Structure 1
Amino acid sequence: MGGWRQPLIMVDRIEDYKYGDKGYVKVAKHISYNEPWLAGHFPDDPIMPGTLISEIFGQASEYLSFLTDICTLYHQRHDIELKSLRDISRRMHERAMMDIIQHQRINVRGVLAAQNLKFKGIVYPGDTVDVTSELTFSDPHGFKHYSVAAYVDKKQISHGSIINYREVKSSSKGMER
């Protein structure tokens, strides 16, 4: 669903999603031994760079906003609420849902704009990083603020806040037929 390509796909799976005021997304990234960036980051003791953990946070948060967008648009067009990944997956192959997803992918761009993160652990090849992102607020200038946390084997390795900037290239209202 996202606009990322290798080698910067930092979300392997979306594990959970909840729509609404207390909404969140949970994602996972498995760190393989042959990640292209490992060879140059402490070659004698390869570990995951903190900047790439930040990228997981940014991509997870953009997935949260993207999924929220498609749930909102689907509800506006069909008066059916989608609140979870299960709800989305039930509608995923409908033409109407595919149109919404395609339109959002083409017309909305989100980028990591700022971060305030604390790192408390190290990620090694073979680890799986589990990330949770929750939207804390959106400002009127297109910035979305998220509370984020990363875990390896239930041990928190990073937490803090990030800000993604999202821009819409064309109006979503143009989707109406």
Structure 2
Amino acid sequence: MAKYSIPSNVFLEMGGWRQPLIMVDRIDDYKYGENGYVQVVKHVTYNEPYLLGHFPEDPIMPGVMISEIFGQASEYLSFLTDICDLYQESYSEELKSLRDIHAKVNDENMRNIIRNRRSQVRGVLAAQNLKFKDIAYPGDTIEVVSKLSFSDSNGFKHYSVSAHVGKKLISQGTIINFREVK
């Protein structure tokens, strides 16, 4: 379990996804800044709806769903960075880690920032360049790290991503999300 977990109702306010497409079970770590990153976890359960038809005799986690984990993790990185920036702008206090966010997440000012920002941002997974090196099976826990490589002037954010099951690297590459603020 994460050292600093975020209450599930706030977690849902932060993401634009609902079941059955929530592909991030937990945010384990976040670092703000130039070398910032987010680390998330997805537990692959035996009853995932997409596993039923994907190699029914030998179910494995579909690569396209791993891509979705990468996309959602990357959006969480951008979203957490947004709320840290907005909180500092409004209250002159820096938030640089998941611990800092956790300390403020039940504060109504922070909740308002989260809700307002979620209503303003729209994003989609735009492109991917991934290499799949191994397989995730039902019962595995996938740990994903996403780091922002760069943003371009057209609203595309390029992230370096990797996925591990234990110490085994199963996928890595680049995810590009498009984000716009309404």
Coarse TM-score class (shorter-chain normalised): over 0.9
Structure 1 position 130, deviation (Å): 0.2
Q: Which amino acid aligns with 1:28?
A: V
Q: Which amino acid aligns with 2:138?
A: P
Q: Which amino acid aligns with 1:149?
A: S
Structure 2 match to 1:73: 86
The answer as to 2:156 corresponding to 1:156 is no
The answer as to 2:42 corresponding to 1:19 is no
Structure 1 match to 2:43: 30
Secondary structure of the residue aligned to 1:126 is coil
TM-score (norm 2): 0.92
The answer as to 2:58 corresponding to 1:49 is no
Give the distance between the partners of 1:96 and 1:25, measured in 2 at CA: 23
The answer as to 2:104 corresponding to 1:126 is no
Structure 1 position 10, deviation (Å): 0.3
Structure 1 position 93, deviation (Å): 1.4
Bigger mean CA deviation after superposition, 21-30 or 90-99: 90-99
Secondary structure of the residue aligned to 2:124 is strand
Give the distance between the partners of 1:137 and 1:62, measured in 2 at CA: 14
Secondary structure of the residue aligned to 2:52 is helix
Q: Which amino acid aligns with 1:29?
A: K
Q: Which amino acid aligns with 2:107?
A: E
Structure 1 match to 2:103: 90
TM-score (norm 1): 0.94
Alpha carbon RMSD of aligned pairs, Å? 0.6
Alpha-carbon displacement from aligned partner over 1:11-65 (angstroms, at most 9, x marks no partner): 0000000000000000000000000011100000000100000000000000000
Structure 1 position 135, deviation (Å): 0.2
Instruction: Give me the identity figure in percent.
Output: 70
Q: Which runs of 5+ in 2 are unaligned?
A: 1-13
Give the distance between the partners of 2:111 and 2:17, measured in 1 at CA: 19
Give the distance between the partners of 2:21 and 2:167, measured in 1 at CA: 24
Alpha-carbon displacement from aligned partner over 1:107-157 (angstroms, at most 9, x marks no partner): 101210000000000010000000000001001111000000000011100
Structure 2 match to 1:111: 124
Aligned residues: 169
Structure 1 match to 2:10: none
